Structure 1
Amino acid sequence: MPSVLPDGDPVPASGELPPGALDGLGSRPFGFYVHVPYCSTRCGYCDFNTYTSAELGPGADRRDYAATVIEEVRLARRVLGAAAPPVETVFFGGGTPTLLPAADLVRILDAIGEEFGVRPDAEVTTEANPESVDHAYLKELREGGFTRMSFGMQSAAGHVLAVLDRRHTPGRPAQAVREAREAGFEHVNLDLIYSTPGETDDDWRASLTAALAAGPDHVSAYSLIVEDGTRLAARIRRGELPMPDDDVAADRYLIAEEMLTAAGMGWYEISNWALDEEARCRHNLLYWTGGDWWGAGPGAHSHVGGTRWWNVKHPAAYAARLAGGASPGHAREELSAADREVERVMLELRLESGFPLADLHPRARTACARALADGLLEVEAFKAGRAVLTLRGRLLADALVRDLTEYI
C-alpha cells in the first residue's frame, strides 16, 4: 500500500457506500486484502505504508492489531450486507504480515469466514520475509486455512541485498520454500527485483537460477522503481548510487523471460510467471479483471462496484476510528465510466489473455493495427479479435496503453 494517500471525497462514519455501488455485488469475484503495516526494518527502496517499532507511538501495539482488523471485517459485513458473496481470495500483505503470530493471522482469516464465508477452494496468501518464519509457523498457517506463501527474495547477491537494505541472507529464501512445502503448501511464490544499482547481468542470472532451484511454482519479477522520499532516492540524489537504466531493465526482463520460460514457467501477466494455471495468483487476477475487494488495515484500498476508497494511514489513527465505532476510511472516489474503461485497458492488456478488440474505440483499433505492424501484438490473437502483447510489446506496454486510451 503506497505511503501517500490521494485526496478524495469524505467517507461517512458508517462506511456506507454511494447509491448503486452494491448493484451487481455477487456477480463479480470478491476478495479480501489485509494490510499488516509492521516491519522489523525499513528497506531503502520501500514506499509502502509500513512502520518499524521505533516509529510507532501509543495506540499502535501490534499485539492488539488482529482484534482491530477484525472490527473492520465486521464493519465490512454491515456495509456490504447480505448481497456480499463468499470470499474467493484473501491476501495478507505489508509490511511483513508474518511479524504477527501465526495465530493472529488465522484469527483474522477465521473472522472473514465467520462474517462472509470463505469458499472451499479459496486462495489464501500471505507475504513473508524469509527470516520471519520457520517450519512450525508455516505449519500453523497451513492448518489454519492458508494455501499460498509469497516470499520476498529480491536477489541472491549479497551486495544487491545490501543496496536494497534487505536483511535476509542469500540462501534463506530457498530454505523457506522447502519449509513451506514440508508444511503442506502446494503454491509458493518468490518475489524478485531487477536493475538494482550495482547489479550485473550475471548477478541477475544467478538470482533467477537460485529462485528456480528453490522450486516455487510462481515467480514475480519487478524492475526497481526509485520512489521519491525513500532512502534509496536520497542516495541516488547524492550521487552515491547510479539511477537504474531503462535499457538495462529491458535487458534484465528479457533474461528473466528466457530463463523462466526454459524452466517451464509461462508469463500470464507482464511481471508474473507460473508453472500452470493452478499456480497463478488468483487474488491479483481479481484486481486485474475488475473484481470487488475490501482492503482492511491502515492505508488499505478497497473497490466495490466502481467506488474506491482508502483508509487512514497511521495504525494508531486506524485503531482509534474503529474503537469509536467509525469507518477508518480516509477518502473515496466514484470512478466514471471513462475511468473504469481506462483502467480496464491498462490492466487487461498486461495479461496473456489480452483485450478484446471489439471493446476498443474505433480509433484505438487503428492504433492496434499500427502496433501489430510494429510487432507489439500477436498476429494470430489479433486475427481472433484480441490484442495480446508480444515479448517486444511487453517491453513497450505503457506506451501502447497510452495510445489505446487516448480516445476514451
Structure 2
Amino acid sequence: MPSILPVGDPAPADGLLPAEGAASSATRDLGLYVHVPFCRVRCGYCDFNTYTATELRGVKQSDYSGQAVAEMRFGAEVLRASGVADRALSTVFFGGGTPTLLPSAQLVQMLHAARDTWGFAPDAEITTEANPDSVDARYLGELAEAGFTRVSFGMQSAVPSVLATLERTHDPERIPLVVRWAKEAGLEVSLDLIYGTPGETLDDWSRSLDAVLENEPGHVSAYALIVEEGTKLARQIRSGEVAEPSDDLQADMYGLADARLADAGFQWYEVSNWARTPDQRSRHNLGYWLGHDWWGIGPGSHSYVGDTRWWNVKHPAAYAQRIAAGESPAAGRETIDAETRELERILLLARVRDGLGLRSLAPEFRQEVAGLIADGLVDGPAALRGSLVLTLSGRLLADAVVRRLT
C-alpha cells in the first residue's frame, strides 16, 4: 500500500456508492483488508503508509482496533444502502505495517467484528502478516484459536548482511521457530522474500532459498526490490552510498527461485507467488487479480466494489477524526470506465497462471498471441487450449506482454 494517494474525485461523507456498484455484485466474492499502520522501525526501502510511535502525533495505537471496528460497521451499512448484494466474507487479510505489533486480543477483536458484521463463508481464508520477531508460540496459538487460518511471515532474506541493508530487525535464525509454532497451531504458512537488495549476491539469494525450503512452507512470495522515490534507500543510492539494484541480476535471481521452488514441488500461480497445492494459494490476493470486491479498512486503505475504487485518508489522526464523526474516511474515489476496466483486467489476469482466456481478448489482440509465442513469452500448448500462460521469460517481461495485448 504505497503512501502516496491517487488524485480522484471527492468522496461523499456518507460513503454511498454509485448504482453501478451493485451490478452483478452477487457473482463476485467479497474480501476484507485491514491495514494496521504501525511499525516498530521504518525500513529504509519501504514507502507503505506506516508510522512508528513517534510519528503518530496525538493518536494512540491502543485505540486503533475500535476505530477499525467502527469502519467495518459503517462499511456494511454503506453496501446495504447502495444496493450491493449481501455476501459473507470469502477472505480477510490483516496487513501493514506490522499487524502483530498489536496485542493478539486486538486482532481477535477486529476479526470477530468482521464475522459479526458480514459473516464468514464456510471456507473463509483469514490471514495476518507478521514479522518473525513480533510473535511467539502463545500469540500464534491465540490467533489460530480465534479463527485465523494463515500467517505470512516477512522473512525477506536469510542473510544477516542483506537484512541489515533492508533495515530488518529480526534474526534469521528465528524463522524455523516461528514456522514451527505456526504449524503446531494449525496455521498455513507463507514465507515472503525480497530479492535484488543492494550488495546481495546470487549466492546470498541461494542461501535464502535454501532456508525457505528447509522450513517447508505451503506458500512462497518473492518480490524484486523496487527503489521507491522518497525512501531512505533511494537517497542512499542517489548519494552513492549503496549501489542501485541490477535488473540482470534480479532476473537471474527470479529464474533461480522459480527453478528451485519447482524442483521442491511448488507451482507458480502468479508472477511473484508459488504454492505447493492449489488450496495453499493466497485466495485473498487472487481476489484482487480476478477482479472481485474488497473493502479496505484503515488509514490509506484502498477499496474496490463494482467499478468504484476509493482510498482512505492517510494519517491515523485524520482517520480517527473521520471515524469519530461517523463519516466516511475516504479521501477520494474514481469510477472505472469500460476502457480502463478492460486494460486492468488484462494487466491483472495476464499475471495469473490460469487467469486470462484468449477468447476474452478482442480479435485484433488475439492476433498478437502467435508473435508472443514465437518470441518465447507465451506458452504455445496452453494457447492451443485457449489460455494465455506466460513462460519464464514472459513473466520477466509481463508488462511488455500486456502492452501488446491492449
TM-score, normalised relative to structure 1? 0.97
Task: Report whether the alignment pairs 1:165 with 2:164.
Answer: no
Unpaired stretches in structure 2, ≥5 consecutive residues: none
Question: How far did residue 174 of structure 1 move?
Answer: 2.1
SS at match of 1:20: helix
Segments of 4+ moved more than 6 angstroms: none
Question: How far did residue 251 of structure 1 move?
Answer: 0.3
> How do residues 260-271 of structure 1 correspond to structure 2 at under 5 angstroms?
260-271=261-272
SS at match of 1:9: coil
TM-score, normalised relative to structure 2? 0.98
Determine the structure 2 residue equivalent to 1:341: 342
**Letter aligned with residue 196 of structure 1:** T
Task: Report whether the alignment pairs 1:280 with 2:277.
Answer: no
Paired residues, number = 403
Question: How far did residue 191 of structure 1 move?
Answer: 0.4
How many angstroms apart in 2 are the aligned matches of 1:363 and 1:333?
A: 29
Contact 2:308 2:336 survives alignment (8 Å) = yes
Unpaired stretches in structure 1, ≥5 consecutive residues: none
Determine the structure 2 residue equivalent to 1:332: 333
Question: How far did residue 380 of structure 1 move?
Answer: 1.1
Question: How far did residue 25 of structure 1 move?
Answer: 1.9
How many angstroms apart in 1 are the aligned matches of 2:358 and 2:144?
A: 42
How many angstroms apart in 1 are the aligned matches of 2:200 and 2:100?
A: 28
Question: How far did residue 83 of structure 1 move?
Answer: 2.3
> How do residues 5-404 of structure 1 correspond to structure 2 at under 5 angstroms?
5-58=5-58, 60-81=59-80, 83-185=85-187, 187-404=188-405
SS at match of 2:223: strand
How many angstroms apart in 1 are the aligned matches of 2:353 and 2:76?
A: 34
**Letter aligned with residue 42 of structure 1:** R
How many angstroms apart in 2 are the aligned matches of 1:213 and 1:31?
A: 32
Contact 1:9 1:333 survives alignment (8 Å) = yes
Contact 1:128 1:150 survives alignment (8 Å) = yes
How many angstroms apart in 2 are the aligned matches of 1:173 and 1:399?
A: 36
Aligned residues: percent identity?
57
How many angstroms apart in 1 are the aligned matches of 2:48 and 2:376?
A: 36
Partner deviation per Cα, 1:137-175 (whole Å, 9 max, x = no partner): 001100001000000000011110011010001121221
Partner deviation per Cα, 1:274-312 (whole Å, 9 max, x = no partner): 000111000000000010000000000000001000000
Contact 1:175 1:214 survives alignment (8 Å) = no
How many angstroms apart in 1 are the aligned matches of 2:343 and 2:176?
A: 39
How many angstroms apart in 2 are the aligned matches of 1:20 and 1:355?
A: 24
Partner deviation per Cα, 1:188-212 (whole Å, 9 max, x = no partner): 0000000111101110000010011
**Letter aligned with residue 88 of structure 2:** P
How many angstroms apart in 1 are the aligned matches of 2:86 and 2:270?
A: 28
How many angstroms apart in 1 are the aligned matches of 2:79 and 2:164?
A: 45
SS at match of 2:243: coil
Partner deviation per Cα, 1:34-83 (whole Å, 9 max, x = no partner): 0000000000000100000011111x211110000000000111101172
SS at match of 1:168: coil
Select between 116-125 and 353-362 the one with higher mean Cα deviation: 353-362
How many angstroms apart in 2 are the aligned matches of 1:337 and 1:251?
A: 38
